[in-house]
Amino acid sequence: MINKAHLARTILAGATAALLAFTAACGSTSASSTSETVTEGKLTIATGEPAYSPWVLNNKPESGEGYEAAVAYAVAKELGYDQKDVVWTRSTFDSAIAPGAKDWDMNIQQFSITEQRKQAVDFSPSYYNTTQALVVKGDNKFASATSLADIKDAVIGAMSGSTSYLVAKDKIKEDIKLYNNNDDAVAALKNGQIDILVVDTPTSVNMVESKQTGDNGKVLGQINGSEDPNGQGIVLPKGSKLTDKVTKAVNKLSEDGTLKQLQEKWLSEYTNIPVLK
């Protein structure tokens, strides 16, 4: 004979257990969904490895020295994060703009804003609109070139997936040698595997001044018409809860003159370069 009281208690216990499990699951989901950063209370910012001057001085973004390091901390402050609450990490350029989950909240390493990239990640508004420049060794046969027509037969290199590559292909020639990163491209320039390297203008000056290209590196000039119309933006994971806040922060820094001040401090000596037409 079925004990109705025992059956009722069993059903009630089962229902209570299910309810508790459901509540716990909902509580867990709610906790994770309310966190706007990968680590509660911290803002994790990624940049390249290495990170180059004048974007980051001495490959130490945590110092806040260099234009992008300074911009990152200015944005963090607008978001309500103290400098001590900013955590720096590193990522490759390509992985940062690829689809998928990220282990950082923001990524800043001269990412040009494009519609194609927007399919995989979110962008802040532009914090800088750079141009592209040409780097050559002083003893190279193209070192005295004064126009883009003068270098049409040169072997030209650029980083894969970069705006430098797109500009070189559009403004100079179709056949551009590609490299995984600027370190590899610089090595190719030093070894004579390419005649000219295309990089953004501030980086080109730093490469020469810091002798990354050897003792006789030279900036031929900026490429005429190469200013990026969309500019460089901070990358965020697709659908990030921070995207709107970062957008407002960058817009405010632009409107109140902070970005201009930081550009004058960190970039002015790197951008007064002749233009090759």
Residue type, 269: E
Mapped onto helix, strand or coil, the DSSP state of residue 232 is strand
Class level of CATH domain 132-223: alpha beta
43-129+230-276 CATH? 3.40.190.10
What span, in angstroms and rounded, lies between the C-alpha atoms of 90 and 51? 9
As given in the structure block, the two tokens for residue 110 are 């001269």
What span, in angstroms and rounded, lies between the C-alpha atoms of 243 and 123? 7
pLDDT at position 145 = 96
pLDDT at position 230 = 93
What span, in angstroms and rounded, lies between the C-alpha atoms of 222 and 114? 21
Residue in 252, 259, 217, 25 with CA at minimum distance from that of residue 128: 259
pLDDT at position 231 = 95
pLDDT at position 33 = 52
Q: How far is CA 264 from CA 1, 76, 88, 203, 267, in A?
A: 89, 20, 25, 16, 6
What span, in angstroms and rounded, lies between the C-alpha atoms of 235 and 219? 29
Residue in 182, 132, 130 with CA at minimum distance from that of residue 157: 182
CA quadruple 93, 96, 97, 99: dihedral sign: positive
pLDDT at position 121 = 98
What span, in angstroms and rounded, lies between the C-alpha atoms of 237 and 97? 9
Domains 43-129+230-276 and 132-223 agree in fold:
yes
Residue in 130, 124, 94, 137 with CA at minimum distance from that of residue 229: 130
Report the chain (277 residues): mean pLDDT per 10 consecutive residues.
42 40 36 76 96 94 98 98 98 95 97 96 97 96 96 96 94 96 94 96 93 92 94 97 98 98 93 89
Domain ranges of the chain: 43-129+230-276, 132-223
Q: Is 51:59 a contact under the CB 8 Å cutoff?
A: yes
pLDDT at position 43 = 98
Q: What ranges in 191-242 are assigned the alpha helix state H? A: 201-209
pLDDT at position 31 = 33
Note the Cα 250 to chain centre separation in Å: 15
Residue in 141, 133, 129 with CA at minimum distance from that of residue 275: 133
pLDDT at position 159 = 94
Neighbours of 84 (CB within 10 A): 7
